[in-house]
Amino acid sequence: MAIRERISLYNRYRDRRVHQVEPFRTYYIIMEGTKTEPLYFHYLDRYLAEKRVRNNIKIIYLDRTSNDRGRNTPRQLFTFLNNCRKINNQENAVYCMVFDRDSYKGFSDPTNSYLDFINKVKMTSVKMIVTSPCFEIWLLLHHKGVISEYIRPHYQQIFNNNRLNSTFTYISKMVYELFGFNPKTTIPEDFVEKADIAMKQAAFLTSDLVKLATEIGENVSDFIKELCIDPRNLE
């Protein structure tokens, strides 16, 4: 399986000497989605840079080449990352995969299939960024009051996230009705300006990888917090 790299370098120190400083931490990220997630993280890059978050991080996005388009199951993403890690052999690099709990919806036993994969990857150094049921739950959190007004009253429907028609699932239609865009095709660039709202509301949902098998939640917020930590303060 082949991949290509796109690099986003965070240089957010106010000191002009930042250009002489090498990145303290490098993240390699591969995503299950090819539209929603890449757009969001691309815009998040710019947003965090504009906020001048105090860190110095290089993020390398791993894209599947044309020969590997459609190979986006969690297992395949994990294989991509392992191959990348063997080739790069960077001791301090962090390898991340972004995927949905919904990826296991079509399995005969979705819960145990998801948990089996989680437990397998936990034995490695790969970081899992998971949304349950899908990435749109993270998008919903950008709407103030969404927990009490929408998620709790429609908890089971959101967890099941059934397809409504050729355009929408239950949760993607909810995003469309709240924000006015179809998350399966696009995200407005200024959408990430509401990330602070999402970070606060994320505290009301689980971010535990095991609990995500049976509960609505995400750990995107944990990953963003990690990006905002100054690596020089880490032991």
Contact 101, 131 (CB under 8 A): yes
Cβ contacts of 220 within 8 Å, gap of 6 or more:
129, 131, 135, 138, 202
Q: What is the largest CA-CA distance in the chain?
A: 56
Per-domain residue ranges of the chain: 3-134+204-233
pLDDT at 7 over 90: no
Q: Which of 4-13, 76-85, 86-95, 168-177 has the highest mean pLDDT?
A: 168-177
pLDDT at 17 over 60: no
> How high does pLDDT run on average in the chain?
85
Tell me the pTM.
Answer: 0.87
Helix 110-122 with 74-88: angle, nearest 10 deg: 10
pLDDT for the residue numbered 69: 60
Banded pLDDT at 10 (limits 50, 70, 90): very low
